[in-house]
Amino acid sequence: MTELPPRRLLLVHAHPDDESINNGATMARYAAEGAHVTLVTCTLGERGEVIPPGLAHLSGPALGQHRAGELRDAMRALGVEDVRLLGGAGRYGDSGMMGLPDNDDPACFWQADVDEAAALLVEVIREVRPQVLVTYDDNGGYGHPDHVQAHRVAMRAVELAEEAGCPVAKVYWNRVPRSVAEESFARLRDDLPGLPFTGAATVDDVPGVVPDERITTEIDGTAHAAAKAAAMRAHATQITVAEPYFVLSNDLAQPLFTTEYYELVRGERGSGVRETDLFAGLGLGIGDAS
């Protein structure tokens, strides 16, 4: 096996497009800096709502296959080469929104045995040996069952990997500081008349918004804003981009964040008021003094 770079980052997401919205700038930055970036996506998003009328015929497995192609294109835009589907393509199906009958499908990710799914993720951890793992909080950011399950599986995999002698030094949850969200939505309201969108979302529509003091880490990805926007555009069934804003299927505009924020929930925090490097404190080079 080819020797991996010194810095190795693993991200665990629920559906294609989640990674680009939440972490696109972070992924592009670390890939450009030579870190090994691994993305594990847990489902193909077969129950997602399709935006473009020309693709509205896609649903179920056909939509999943199409979204797999979108994911490949998005990762090319970010410079990320190591992209995996948990357990292989089709192992776990999209669970739909919380409270729908889709949640009861025995093949959906929500119904997966957490230890079994975590064991599949441990296989990736044993191979890649990431020092840093990024995923959602225990509410999955906004309560989607696949996001909640991705959190459970990722956190359990970290426990199992440590028991197996493959510890992950630092675990982060995706976050947005409330002050940043409020300032961004204030600008959005001013800009809305010039945008091709019908209305604006609200701060409460953004996953992972927390009080500013919860933020431990901010990653400045402004140099990679174009890559993040390109990755989001690649997910054309799910996202429409008009920089520096975007919409999902509800056609309500949201800010496109190019500085991305995190909460360290496992591991030793680097020095400073806020870390500016996910690898801070690990003695691995670039940005380690942050």
Binding residues: 15, 18, 147
Enumerate the known binding-site residues for Zn(2+).
15, 18, 147
Measuring CA to CA, how many Å separate 167 from each of 85, 132, 279? 22, 10, 14
Q: How many whole angstroms separate alpha carbon 209 and alpha carbon 5?
A: 33
Is residue 196 within 8 A of residue 238, CB to CB? The reply is: no
Q: Any idea how long the chain is?
A: 290
* CA proximity to 51, closest of 245, 234, 238: 238
Q: Helix, strand, coil shares of the chain as percentages rounded to 5?
A: 40, 20, 40
> Under 8 Å CB-to-CB from 148, ≥6 apart: which residues?
110, 136, 138, 139, 140
Q: Do the Cβ atoms of 41 and 84 come closer than 8 Å?
A: yes
Distance of CA 82 to the CA centre of its chain: 15
What the block records as the tokens of 148 is 């909640």
Residues 6+ apart with CB under 8 A from 194: none
Residue with tokens 């020309």: 54
Q: Which two tokens mark 247? A: 């919409």
For residue 281, report the phi and psi dihedrals to the nearest 5 degrees. 85, 0
CA pair distance 255, 173, nearest whole angstrom: 19
> Dihedral of CA 273/274/280/281: which sign?
positive
